[in-house]
A and B are shown apart, each in its own frame.
Chain A
């Protein structure tokens, strides 16, 4: 792969590497002077405050912030320089929880989850428990990044992993601009290898879904239309199959927030999110059925709250003291970034929600 797109905010020693600085920006300016309503005020208008967790369906595990890519929009601020990696001990605690949880989906994310040295051991052990849907969020290029990862498609197949991969566009230019030079070609190669194993093929049980997120300060288009466009272009140009496309809105945190501010798009973007607020999306927003576990075992309402260091509002705060009954019905911790999940058709790690 070519030159990395950028460096992590942490590596750059940026103020925005600190979550409290990000929360300051999201709470002040246009939200403090009354120009725009806070998320709390907005959901109160439709009687959705406090937002409450329902029955747990998805356990999302962030196994570390290390990544082989440094995408410009990354909400994790992931990159090769990040050293936060989940230990085997924490993974063991998670395995103990999986045995008793009512969640039907286990969702591994990162960083590049495959870069965690205990990744394969964890997948093997977790698959023995028998979760219904076992997702790995793979950035695709990792499969071609180093010889030691070349067998990942076979590994995924062996454990019937549901592969969910980022693909910002069906053209080289737009993809490389967001994710770094050479990412498009490597992603295409990785998708072809997954197809060869049966992943993403029509009627195949080996699930391969793609994630689309906009390449700048605008919201995603209609998910169904985008899926048709992606399918047509990837099939015509490269003979590639996949199952579903998830259109995900970029949330104004970490590197995407840094980009919005540097490009003077922050206010317009927040206006666009607020104007597109959809009460129907609030009903199904992912924090109400998901729990996010950080690399060091702490519990959050979602991966975004994890990055903003906003822990769950519950006595059960760490995987070592996990009690599902204490987490159900908890009040969700919110700030203005939450507008990203309620705009238009809504947005979640599984795509639109309304």
Chain B
């Protein structure tokens, strides 16, 4: 057994999840493939969204995959980092907006 939870080589084995439940595995990969097709958003825009979400979800496999995907699409380092800041801003905003709840609670409890 591996002594770490994450092994970069496991990303290549992602498709194998279908082996233990073919029907659901295939449905997932069909859905996944469809989502990333060119639509109202370009595949390039979707790749940048996926990269930002990969970071907010802190998924190392997704970070590897969508960094590479971005490079393949000619996306620049600057564009990638800007996308990350969007994710980071939402994460920090989501934390801070709960501050209103804290303030409400304090205001309710304090005399």
Interface hits, B19-67 → A, CB 8 Å: 43-44
- Determine the chain B residues whose CB is within 8 A of the CB of A218 once the complex forms: 68, 71-72
| Minimum C-beta distance from A31 to chain B (A) | 16
Q: Which residues from chain B sit less than 8 Å from chain A, CB to CB? A: 12, 43-44, 68, 71-74, 76-77
Contact A271 B72 (CB under 8 A): no
Partner of A221, one of B12, B72, B76, B77: B72
Closest Cβ–Cβ distance, residue B73 to chain A (whole Å): 4
Q: Can you offer 15 A-B residue contacts whose CB atoms are under 8 A?
A: A169-B74, A170-B74, A173-B76, A173-B77, A174-B76, A212-B74, A214-B71, A216-B71, A218-B72, A220-B72, A221-B72, A221-B74, A225-B44, A225-B73, A230-B74
Which residue in chain A gives the minimum CB-CB distance to B67? A218
Q: State A212–B74 Cα separation when bound (angstroms).
A: 10
Q: Mark A270-296, 1 if CB is under 8 A from B, else 0.
A: 010001000000000000000000000
Q: How far is the CB of A184 from chain B (nearest CB, A)?
A: 14
Say if the beta carbon of A171 comes within 8 Å of chain B: yes
A229 within 8 A of B: yes
Contacts of A173 in B (CB 8 A): 76-77
Question: Which residues in A have their C-beta under 8 angstroms from that of B44?
Answer: 225, 229
Does A219 lie within 8 Å of B72, measured CB to CB? Answer: yes
> Does A98 belong to the interface (CB within 8 Å)?
no
Q: Give A172-210 as 1s and 0s: 1 = Cβ < 8 Å from B's Cβ atoms.
A: 011000000000000000000000000000000000000
B58 → chain A closest CB, angstroms:
22
Q: Which residue of A lies closest to B64 (CB)?
A: A268
CA distance A90 to B68 in the complex (A): 44
Q: A345 CB to closest chain B CB, in angstroms?
A: 12
Tell whether A226 is near chain B: CB-to-CB under 8 Å.
Answer: yes
**A-B pairs with the 8 shortest C-beta distances?**
A221-B72, A221-B73, A218-B71, A218-B72, A218-B68, A229-B74, A226-B74, A219-B72
Assess the A171–B73 pair: CB atoms within 8 A. Answer: no
